[in-house]
A = this chain, B = another copy of it.
Amino acid sequence: MKDKMPKKVLERIALYHSLLVEYLDKNIEYISSPQIAERLKINDSQIRKDIKVINPLNNGKCRIGYSVIELKKSIEQTLGFSIPKNAFIIGTGNLGLALAKYDNFKNYGLNILALFDNDPLKVGIEFNGKKVHHISELPELISKYNVDIGILTIPREYSQSTADFMIKSGIKYIWNFSPTILKVPCEIKVWNENLIASFLQFTCNHIE
């Protein structure tokens, strides 16, 4: 977590991790870079390099490859899966609920504590053990539970004003699922999850 890792490297590491989970399920003990390469369509020397980035001490064995369990552990340690990062979801539309119900996040260190909405009818409902609070309670609960990540899942029209309120309430990191370019002070970090962009990459590069 110390150094900034290039986005592409992290993308690949996440793929390696999925593959290691699969291998572990199948009780396969070792995996080699050509094996990973074949499956993920990535050059094998790049994989060996990435593995050195994850953990330079994680030595592979000649003719055998890397220990699945060790490599998986290295990835988890390097990327801090066991360090819980508390977050709130802002917006309880389908996307907000989908994220709230997605238990898998916890395994990667993302701990979603609660949801927020401005609709009084939704306040008090629980989803997957996560309570919906009124948005006005945000500042109070941010300081109470020491949360600094906000996951923004509300329609584009309200996303900027909501983001402003989140920042005023103490949120430092915004994972933005609305298709807007948020205007934020420079100390606030925004990560845009743009499904549209993602779809465009898919169609432009693969279709026709």
Contact = CB atoms under 8 A, between A and B. Distances in A.
A164 to B, nearest CB: 15
B181 A10 contact: no
Contacts of A197: 10-11, 14-15
Q: How many copies does the complex hold?
A: 2
A199 B176 CA distance: 11
A101 interface: yes
Contacts of A22: 180-181
Nearest to A36: B181
Interface string A188-199: 010111111111
Contacts of A195: 99, 102, 105, 193
Contacts of A179: 18, 104
Contact of A203 (B40, B85, B99, B207): B85
Interface string A58-87: 000000000000000000000110000100
A80 B203 contact: yes
A173 B18 contact: no
Given A206-B191, A207-B1, A200 B79 contact: yes
Nearest to A40: B181
A27 interface: no
B206 A201 contact: no
Given A179-B18, A189-B206, A108 B173 contact: no
Contacts of A129: none
Given A15-B181, A181-B15, A201 B7 contact: yes
Q: Which 10 A-B pairs have the closest CB atoms?
A: A14-B197, A94-B98, A191-B202, A95-B98, A189-B206, A94-B97, A10-B201, A98-B98, A4-B205, A18-B181
